Amino acid sequence: MLKEQNQHILVLDKGGIASGGSGAAGAFVSPKIGKGSVLQKLTNEAFAYAKDFYLDVCPMYFNQTGVVRVPKDKQDAMAFSTYEKYNENNYKVYSKETLHSLGIDSDFDSFYFPEAGSCDALGVCEYLLKDIEVLKYEVTHLSQQNGIWKVGDYKAKNIILATGHEHDLADLRYMGIRGTWGNRGDFSTHLDLKVSMHQSMSVGANHEGIIKLGATHEKEIKKAIPCSHAQASSLKQRASGLINTSDLELKKVFCGMRAGSKDYVPLLGKVIDVPYMLKTYPALTRGAKPALTYRENLYVFNGLGGRGFVFAPLLAKWLSDYIINNKELKSNVCADRLFLKWCRKGMK
């Protein structure tokens, strides 16, 4: 999005393109169901934008199979009837008979979103960066002098921190960024599964003989750990309640950390100068609401959670418009929303 606005861009990535959580993602692109929460509305707006973005920009990396959202149990199935009026995107209700005909083992009516699908995570990331300079470089320190940021030998007017769960290059404590561990396994199969699905995990459609199984669920893991076949094999066991897994053979294992926020909504915008604010306005802890002071030309793009490939295109557009054209960010994604509450709670 910045490149489209004729900006000169350098991407510094510690491990290389999509080497972390993005590369491990199942990269499903689907709407969210629920009762009309802020997060659901934002997700569905982002989904509508994202599916058109991928179809227009890199259709070779977007497999638009449609996604079936399957209830977890009888109680969840009953809740689906209350969710239906909040389905803002194109959908159909699939009966259990329809599900069975598709090879999905469920006795509950489900929602089918025909415009949804999944991306080739690495393929998308590499394609979008093909005309942008990318260096494998571990950033350990930021400094600024005379309005110019310096990272090693590199200099820039603006810096965007898109560092996920590793967020120690600035004081971002008020954003409540936290990691959730995700696992994915790619399995070869002859199963003729034409649609993807979500339940307590994600199951991808058969694409060129491969089905992706994935889940983002372990919140207690603080640091990245080596991927293991045991983690991926457990996904196969869980998927057996949805599809016939008898001939699935594990081919590759992926794992990585997704970064989310305290309220599960993404984090965009300027970075508040936390040390200055706390020193200058000690009454912040007692509910004071002074004007905010920011780190100059320092921005954040974080907290996309397990729906990174849904949120990223639209939020990237919003952030680039904010930086280049001074177009105001929506309050529900602006990272400022969490600062005052964090101060009142004793910076916890």
Confidence band of 226 (pLDDT split at 50, 70, 90): confident
Choosing among 3.50.50.60, 3.20.20.10, 3.40.30.10, 2.40.40.20, the CATH entry for 125-177+262-344 is 3.50.50.60
Dihedral over Cα of 28, 30, 34, 39: its sign:
positive
CATH topology of domain 28-118+183-257: D-Amino Acid Oxidase; Chain A, domain 2 (3.30.9)
Q: State both tokens at 149.
A: 């940021």
> What pLDDT, in 10s, does the model give residues 289-348?
999 999 999 999 999 998 999 999 999 999 999 999 999 999 999 999 999 999 999 888
Domain boundaries, the chain: 28-118+183-257, 125-177+262-344
Q: Is the pLDDT of residue 215 over 90?
A: no
Confidence band of 218 (pLDDT split at 50, 70, 90): low
pLDDT at 210: 95
Q: What's the rounded Cα separation, in Å, for the pair 195 and 192?
A: 9
Q: Is the pLDDT of residue 118 over 60?
A: yes
Closest among 182, 195, 306, 186 to 236, alpha carbons compared: 186
Q: At which residue do the structure tokens 């940021």 appear?
A: 149
Query: Is it true that 28-118+183-257 and 125-177+262-344 share their CATH fold?
Result: no
**Furthest C-alpha separation in the chain:** 67
Q: What's the rounded Cα separation, in Å, for the pair 50 and 336?
A: 25
pLDDT at 297: 97
> What pLDDT, in 10s, does the model give residues 27-74?
899 999 999 999 999 999 999 999 999 999 999 999 999 999 999 999
- Which residue type is seen at 159? I
Q: Is the pLDDT of residue 269 over 70?
A: yes
Statement: the pTM of the whole predicted model exceeds 0.85: yes
